Structures are given as C-alpha cells and as structure tokens.
Amino acid sequence: MNKIIGILGGMGPVATIDTMEKIIKNTPAVCDQEHIPVIAVSFPDIPDRTANILTGGESTLNNMLVALKVLETAGAGCIIMPCNTAHYWYEKLKATTGIHFLNIIEITCNKIVNERINNIAILATTGTIKAGLYQDRLRKEKVDFVVPDDIQQKRVMESIFAYKSGDGERAYLLLESVITQLENMGVERFIMGCSEIPVILSHCDNKDRYIDATEELVKRAVEWFYFG
C-alpha cells in the first residue's frame, strides 16, 4: 500500500474539498496515477467547535475521535485536519494515535516566524481566538500581531456562518469590511486562520496579503508524501 494522506474533515465540508484541491495543486502529477492517495472523512455532524470551546455542551472531541479511528483503520499514514478551531483538541487527538498528525497552527506559525512576517491580523473563529491558539505562539516569538476587536470579531464569525449557510456573497462582504478596517489600522498581512476563509475569499485578488493556513498544512502533507 502506498502512503496515504488522511483528512479529518467535514469542518466544514467545503473546507475539506478546498484541502483536496490544494493537495492536487501542490502535486507535480501529469496523470491520475501520479497523484497522492487521499482518504477524506467528511463527517459534518461534528458539533460546532466554537460553541463547544465557549460554552461547553455537546462533545466535539468524541466525534473527532470516531473520524480519526476511521482514518487509522483505513491505513492513513499522515493526518491533516483542515479546521483551525478543532486544533483546540489537537493534543488529545494526537495522544490517541501513533499516526503522524500535522498541526495547522504550528505549521502556519512556523512560516510566519521563519519568514519574519509582522503586522499581522488573525482572522479566525471566535473559538480559535478565545482559546489563543495562534496568539500564544506568536507572542512567544515576539511577532507583531493584532486580533479583531469584539465588533469586528462578531462580523468575522457572522461571515463564517453565512458561508456555511450557503450565502457566499454575504460572507465575502462581511469579511472584506473587517479586512479593510484592519488594513486602515496598518495591518499588512492576514492569517486565514479558519479553513472557510480561503474559500470565502477565493475570488479575491491580492493573494500576497494572506497566509493561508490550509495551504501551508497541505504543503507539509505533500512534503511528507514525497520526503517522509
């Protein structure tokens, strides 16, 4: 059996597809057979991650463990989870498996630190922000970053839920308004720290201003496939 990338997905389903597209885009294949074997488990019934972080309630972890078990049994050799917020449970998930499990937050922060990127804003769910998933590492590395204020953050979250509800246009307008405000405050680069965000902004020009966490995660997974 060849090496297989396992996607612990469905959070949301479109972000899973975006991840699969990015795997293809980052693979130098000229026929089907040169592409990377992938198993995507897209179980969208995993309870909302932000709600679970903020208020407890229905367990998110148990559902993710079911999906992880499916990938493990199916023979995945490297797990990626294209949901930043779900990385709140990363250590617990990782502790249950012997499979190589990439961490989207760590990989994205590594890029920022290595490339000495500064004047960054974190665009992410309220769960990711409140849990400090990005901030802890960036603070430690003395990266100059901001998070949206409460009103802006509420709008980012509205944008993400609008997209998940099928209203891509509203999602784009809400997010773009926050981005413009932050740019006017001097922000130069934006972490797309929620896997819906690259999809919401997929028709956007000016790709250089974004650090796409999903893309960074996928690049590392493709490296794993080729180089171990």
Binding residues (CB under 8 A) for its own copies: these are 1-2, 4, 10-14, 16-17, 20-21, 23-24, 29-48, 66, 70, 73-75, 161, 164-166
Locate tokens 């246009």: which residue? 169
Shortest separation between residue 199's beta carbon and its own copies, angstroms: 11
Hey, what are 228's tokens?
């171990």
- Residue 7 sits at φ, ψ, to 5 deg, of -105, 115
Nearer to its own copies, 34 or 150 (CB): 34
Nearer to its own copies, 21 or 106 (CB): 21
Specify burial of residue 77 (Cβ count, 10 A radius: 0-12, 13-18, 19+): middle
Locate tokens 């890029």: which residue? 111
Nearer to its own copies, 16 or 214 (CB): 16
Question: Is 83 assigned a catalytic role?
Answer: yes
Question: Is 31 assigned a catalytic role?
Answer: no
Shortest separation between residue 31's beta carbon and its own copies, angstroms: 5
Shortest separation between residue 195's beta carbon and its own copies, angstroms: 11
Hey, what are 225's tokens?
């496939």
Pairwise CA distance, residues 29 & 67, whole Å? 28
By annotation, the residues acting in catalysis are 83, 194
